[in-house]
Amino acid sequence: MFWIMKKFVLCLLLVAAQTVAMAQERERPLRWQGFETNCFWDNWEVALGGGNSMLLVAESWGSDPGKFINRNGWNANVGFTKWVVPTLGMRLQLDGGEFRNYSFDQPLYGSEAFKTPYMFVHGDVLVNMSNWIGGYNPNRIYTAISYVGFGYTAMSWTKHSAGSYNGEFAFSSGFLSKFRISPQWDIELDLRTWLFAEKSLPAEIRSDGRYAVGLSASLGVAYRFNQRDWTPGYSQVEVDGYIAAIMALEDGLVASDVALVEAAKEIEALEAKNKSLEADIARSKADKPKPCQGVKPECVAFFAIGDATISDYALATLETYVEQIRSNDMPITVVGYADKETGSAQRNEQLSKERAEGITAWLMKWGIDASRITTEWVGDTEVAFESPASPIVNRCVIIK
């Protein structure tokens, strides 16, 4: 048992020492909520105490046989505490004492109270509630501390105790009240509970439950050595400088907010102006004058008999016409004709098509968009001109 407890205690000490040393032994002091963290050997406490202990088992709370006063035992403890920051500390404590409990099978084990010695070694994490809630005060008379921890409990290893040795890991929690009586000394009232498996108890006092709870109340003293208080991390000059810098930043933020409001107003005005211009553009497009059909330019290209080739004579007329229609987007209709005095109807149909498509290709070559052009042909079914009554006038393409 003792080698297990020794190993456990050694592990706790190594972990605590390494953690605190790494956090504190640096070239520049660390700061926590405006206070410098101290060196490893500062803010230590050693405490001694003693008082009352009691054991509760899972199936006997409120119904344990025997008198209440006879089920109270004693305890003594020694602990070492290191405060890392004003609100957080670590403690290693050894608690020993004696439980007194009646058997749950008195016909078998008798009606006297059994005495069960115990030892409980545990490491705790302490939270200084007074410094946390009320702020650090080196002259505070009363300090309230809560803690939780983990450790190992061992019971009934002597010949005079009931049963034989057994031990289990246990969880602890409690509330520690400290009363300052001098810069070095405190009076401590420690109310503690720990939870462990009931199977570690002697057979004579087991209730066949799954767990047991130990309770203790101890009164003692604590001595604080080396540096006991905490040093402010910043001087008043630094604090005043920080406050002035913060106020300057706040003033800058106010000025930025004003500038943003003005910019937002300017953007809103520009957006309104933009919408007005868009409306003017839309109205201008809607009011655009439409071309008059009465003055729409037209052109005629004449062809030789039986031919669809554009002659130089026709090109002169076409070039003049194309200059007139380039500057607008009016639709154009190209209609091809052939005279019925020569050739068959089928041949004239094909000839009028070739003439119309040739003119369309020429117009597109000169930059007229194809979407503007409609190409048609009528063969010899229609006449291009009623007069003069000559076949030559129907060998043509009319562009209109």
| Sign of the torsion formed by the C-alpha atoms of 218, 221, 224 and 229 | positive
Distance CA 368, CA 345 (A): 32
The separation between CA 22 and the C-alpha centre of its own chain, rounded to angstroms, equals: 30
DSSP 3-state assignment of 59? coil
What is the pLDDT at residue 168?
Answer: 81
Sign of the torsion angle spanned by Cα atoms 285, 286, 288, 290 = positive
Please state the pTM of the whole predicted model: 0.51
- Give the pLDDT of the chain (400 residues) as one tens digit per residue: 444 444 544 555 454 554 444 444 443 444 445 666 677 888 899 999 999 998 887 655 544 555 667 778 999 999 999 998 889 999 999 999 988 877 776 677 666 777 888 889 999 999 999 999 988 888 899 999 999 999 998 876 555 444 445 678 999 999 999 999 998 999 999 999 999 888 777 777 777 778 888 899 999 999 998 887 877 666 666 667 778 888 889 889 999 999 999 999 999 999 999 988 888 888 877 875 554 444 567 899 999 888 899 988 888 889 889 988 888 888 999 999 998 888 888 999 999 999 999 999 999 998 899 999 999 999 989 888 888 878 888 899 999 8
- Give the distance, in angstroms, between the CA of residue 364 and the centroid of all CA atoms in the same chain: 63
Closest CA to 40 of 180, 227, 266, 254: 227
